[in-house]
Structures are given as C-alpha cells and as structure tokens.
Structure 1
Amino acid sequence: MPSLPRLLPLALLPLLAVAGTASAQTTFDVIGPREYELPVGFEPFNVFVQYATYQDNARVFDADGNRVDGSGSKALTGLSKYVRFWTPESNKKIGVAWEVIVPEVAIRNRRAPEGDRHISGIGDPLTGFAIWYKPSEKATLGFQSFVQIPTGTERVSDTNWKNLSSFFWDWRMGDKFGWTGDAGFVWQSRRDNGIQPGLSLHTNNRFAYRASQRLEPFLALDAEHTESNDGLPTGWAVDAGAGLMVHTFDNQSITLRYSTSLDGKNHSVNDSFNLKYAYVW
C-alpha cells in the first residue's frame, strides 16, 4: 500500500461554491497542490476533509470590467466531506473514489434590511465519483463528475440541480516541483425563479515547490467563463493566489491560501482566505 501522504490528495477533490459565494469564487478553486497526485493498486481507505473559506464581497466587476462597490457582505462557508477510495479487482491499474459533501453557509451583511443581515444554513449537498490512471510513475490523468442536489436550507439553496464534470491531471517534475490542475464545466437546471444560468467553463492550476519534508508553498491560477442565458449576462474572471501546504503527519495535512481576482467582467471580485484540513484512515 502506498504511503499515506500520497493518498491525501484525492481527499481534496473540489466542488462548486455554495449559494451566496458561487459568483465570488471560481468553480473548483478549493484544490491545492498534489490534489491529483493519486496512486493505483492500493487497499481501500477513507478520508475526511473540512474546508473553510472567508470571502469579502466588497467589490465586483461591472459590465465594462471596472471594479465597483459590491454588496459588502462577508461569507463564511464550510465544506464537510467523506470520501471512499478503492481499486477495482478487475483492473488494479486504475483508481476509483466516491464522495459525499455537505456545505455549511453563513452570510453577514450590515447593509441588508432587518431580518436579512445574517443568513445561515446547510447548503445543497453534492455526491459523485472520480476515476484515474497513471500513464507514467510521475503523472496522473483522470475524470470526475458530481451532482449537486437542491435540498439545502431554503435561504441558502440555489434551488436547482447541477452537474460538475472535469478532467484532471498531475505532473511531478523531479523531486521538488509539481503541477496539478483541472478543466471542465458546470451545467445547471432551471431555478425556482424560472431562471436557468448559462454553462460555465473553468480551469484551476496549482504550481508547487516542496521546500522541505513539512512545507510546500505554491501559486494558484484559476479562470472561469459563464455564458449568458435567460437575461443573465456573460461573466468571467481570472484569479491568482498564494498558499502553503503543511504536511503535519503522515495521514494529515493543512493547506492555507489567499486568493484574489486579477481581472473579470460581470463577476464578483475574489478576496478570500481559505483553509483545508484532511485526515486519512
């Protein structure tokens, strides 16, 4: 069985931001370095991950790409995730995972009317799978697909179904450098208000350097484009960030990151602090 540090990354499979923050952060921007550095031919194991994000919605990009005042709300979101990993008996050269994710949402806005200044609840849960193989010892290629189910608390649910599908990769460049990333789409059904958001395309990339046994700093680059539909305009954003992955124990890690938007149009400006804790057993 491979060492536990090599099993941690898939525990960090990403997901769409929950209601209240989806327009502020690029799809799947929760991924970290080594996210898809995945093994094959291993014994089944389990992972629990807790994500936390603090987003300041002070600024937005308008239709001309200018930064203007946003809602001023502060969003604190959590994502609790359980993942089961295994290798099929019929083919030990591939890996498979299934996961269940429950979002937690809290939004504060002092400018909002009384009764709307603090909104919180359980967001729309997600479930889905990932499958991958290794074309070489230092490379991983795979595909993942998730369904987001509109059963969250009334005030934080998006009220529609979503499918999030993407290809992902990981490339170990020697002993120190690594590139992990994905590219995919998000399809949404019609919401209760009659509006169906357009198709979103996204890509996420992490470039890391293993400075020591415990510390791995990295740079993040994320991009997203959403098509216009049902009166909603075309929107896009390019985000960048910097972070540090701390390999605390063989079966645990903590990742810290700050992310901000470089450019965009009809999109909230990303201004977020992100925390991720993963535990393998």
Structure 2
Amino acid sequence: MKKIDYSIVVPVYRSKESLKILTQKVDELFNTKLQGKSFELIFVNDSPFDDATCKALEELHTQYKFVKTIEFTQNFGQQSAVLCGIANSLGEYVITMDDDMQHDPFDIPTLIQEDSHDIVIAKFKSKKHNAFKRITSSIKGYFDHIILGKPKHIKLTSFRLFNRVIADNMLKIGTSYPFIPALLFSVSKDIVNVEVPHYAREEGKSNYTLGKMIQLFTNLLINNSSLLLKWIGYLGLFLAFVSLVYAGVIVYRRVFFDIALQGWSSIMVAILFFGGMIMFTLGVIGEYLVRIIHTSENRPHYFVRKIRGGENE
C-alpha cells in the first residue's frame, strides 16, 4: 500500500462553498510552503441526504486528484466521520479539521513544527463562538480533565495532527460510541498545544445543537468513565445517612418528649424524592447496560455507501 506524508481528514455536514475554499487553500499550501510533500484530502460526507453537499464533493473529486470522498449511508455524527477518515487514510501523519473554514489550512505548518510529539492540538487565541458555546465548552473542558486525565493546560479542539502509530492504535479500540479525544488520550499522553487563530464561519451556522452537545457529553461521561455511577453511590450513602439521622431524631422525640411525627405532606415528599432517585438510578444503569450490549454486538460505527478517489478508482 502506497504511503504518503499527510492525510487531511474533514468531516462534512451540509457544506458547499466552504469545501471549495478549503480545497483551494490546501492545494495552494502544498504547492508553496509544503511543496514536495505528498498528501491526500479526505472528505467524509455525513449528510448524504443533502444534494448540494453531494454535488460539491463530486465536483471537487473530479477537479482535484488528491481529493478522496467517502459517503455514509446516513448521518452517523462527527466523531464517527473522523474515525472513518482515519481508517481510510494512508498518511504518515493525520490532520483533522472542520469543514467550515474556522480552521485555516495555512495554519497546518504550525502543527507540523511540533510533529516530534505524538499528538499536536491547535489552541485558539480567541474563539469565534457565541457565549453559550464558550460556556458549554468550558464545562466540557473541566470534565475532560476529570474523566480523560487531560492536563489542565491542554486545550482540546478538532484541529489536530497525530502520527500513524497513534492513528493505527486508535482504530484498535472497540467502542460503540467513539469520542476522538478519549481515543487519543487512551493511546498516548505525549500531547502539546500550538496557538493558532480561530476564524469566523465561512457559511451557515454551527450544526452542534444543544441536543448534540448533550449527546456528546453523555458519551464522554458514560462511555469513558464510571463517574456517574460513583456519584449516584455517594448520593445514596449520603441519603442513607440523612435518613438514619432523621429516624434517630424521630425516635428520640417520641421516647423522651412523647412527640409523634405528624403530617402526610412530609411523608409524601420523602416517598416521591426517593422514588425519583430510584428511577433515575435505574435509568443510568440501564444506559450503561445498553451501551455494553452495543459493544458486545461489535456494531459498526458507520456504514459507507461509496468511496471515490485513491485506490478505489
């Protein structure tokens, strides 16, 4: 199998004009600053239902020999799209970036300067996101540190570079709900940040809705740790202790002061509270069990309809 220097993996969702600009910039980059380096640009289409995206990718594949396009059968999500691109890459180094031009291909040489490390991740000087997304990103960053063991000084983004050894070993990890940072940290802790600018979106708006953010956070929390189960266990111990103390108070007041506990309201509140906690706990355990079943089934992360470019021509 022919090896090349760099594979650039770009997950695509409902994009058109930005793909053309990105491809032109990649072409210019490897004809100037990175002249002489072999490369491939892999677009993974996670929106096969969008005709405009499919047409744009078809045109790019026809126009540029270095473009490889992979089309899913349906939407499987950004993480699966990136993993698919990695699995179909040939580069000694893999570079991942977004399709909206918030990551500039001209900043790739900045990542390459640190390629003696296993993983190089871009850190943005100032993010061109709204306040809500910045807040949610900060919260997620806190949990990345707790769950993944990410050093506090390391910032995570989807603009990154890693070598072939890391890429191949990431693909060996069996999980039904892939989360790229978790896979990276499982393979190596040799990670550095490099500072690059963050640009405004070239077209459209972010496809990361609140629902998708919650789903991504759930995958991080449940698939990569038992933290939620531990929290429920601690809460159970705390409530048991409170209940024991409260029972002691009731017995004490009854024996020494002949004061009986009155009021159905407090009893109903207690029943509803503990009943709700039991149902919540069962729901969390059920979610863990469902994910264990999916993993044991060895269910694929995605299904590919067709691949154009490279050795598939």
Q: TM-score range by the shorter chain?
A: under 0.3
Greater length-normalized contact order (CA 8 Å, ≥ 6 residues apart): 2
Structure with more helix by fraction = 2
Which structure has the bigger radius of gyration?
Answer: 2
Q: Which protein has the bigger strand share?
A: 1
